[in-house]
Chain A
């Protein structure tokens, strides 16, 4: 069975702090995709990143970075120098096989960044 665990339900930081959101996944498939989505208070789901199971390279996009480690089945997300606008619920998700549309979501981590 496939599963995504985001153990941190809520995190609160002060602006400019760095914060890491944890994501642990379970699957027996060798081909899978991992995703992160952001859901700001306005409610829409904003795509942040997609990573396939054959690409363990870490990625950096501005203040955002992702650490994919197959050995620990983790796909963690770090925000450097957090800003108030980063306040949102962040979801990690998994899809297996060729379909990237059937997403298995974690329960989300609510990040609050205080000024």
Chain B
């Protein structure tokens, strides 16, 4: 009954590869987010989608592309992976005026 679930939990890949992280929420929320936590534990928002529409797009390389097929899903595609992309990526969701619910994170390691 996980509220916000993201897969995979761990992702190890080579530089230059393309990979995706999937996120699903079963809370009926209308807004979903991707956050990145770097090696120094610093957390920063990357994207936000409301009802499948992009509303926040921070300064993120265009190799990163979020895709929201419906309100309950927000996937993150990363092309041409670089060493610096290694981080923990957190998906989250919320309803208007309500707090965030975070997924358990995906640890991405680029070798």
Interface residues of A (CB under 8 A from B): 35, 39, 43-45, 47, 50, 89, 91, 93, 98-103, 105, 107-108, 110
Q: A71–B90 Cα gap in the complex (Å)?
A: 33
Q: How far is the CA of A35 from the CA of B102 in the complex (A)?
A: 13
Instruction: Report which of A35, A91, A102 forms a contact with B45, defined as CB distance below 8 A.
Output: A102
The 7 lowest CB-CB distance pairs between A and B, nearest first, are A105-B43, A45-B102, A101-B94, A44-B104, A108-B41, A50-B99, A43-B105
Question: Contacts of B92 on A, CB cut-off 8 Å?
Answer: 101
Within 8 A of A (CB), among B85-111: 88, 90, 92, 94, 96-102, 104-105, 107
In the complex, the answer to whether A101 meets B102 with C-beta atoms within 8 Å is: no
- CB < 8 Å neighbour of A107 from B42, B96, B97: B42
Q: How far is A50 from B101 in the complex, measured between Cα atoms in Å?
A: 12
Smallest Cβ distance from B3 to chain A, in angstroms?
Answer: 11
B68 within 8 A of A: no
A101's partner among B40, B48, B104, B107 (CB-CB below 8 A) is: B48
Q: How far is the CB of B109 from chain A (nearest CB, A)?
A: 14
Q: Which residue of A lies closest to B58 (CB)?
A: A102
Q: Which of B53-111 contact A (CB under 8 A)?
A: 56, 88, 90, 92, 94, 96-102, 104-105, 107
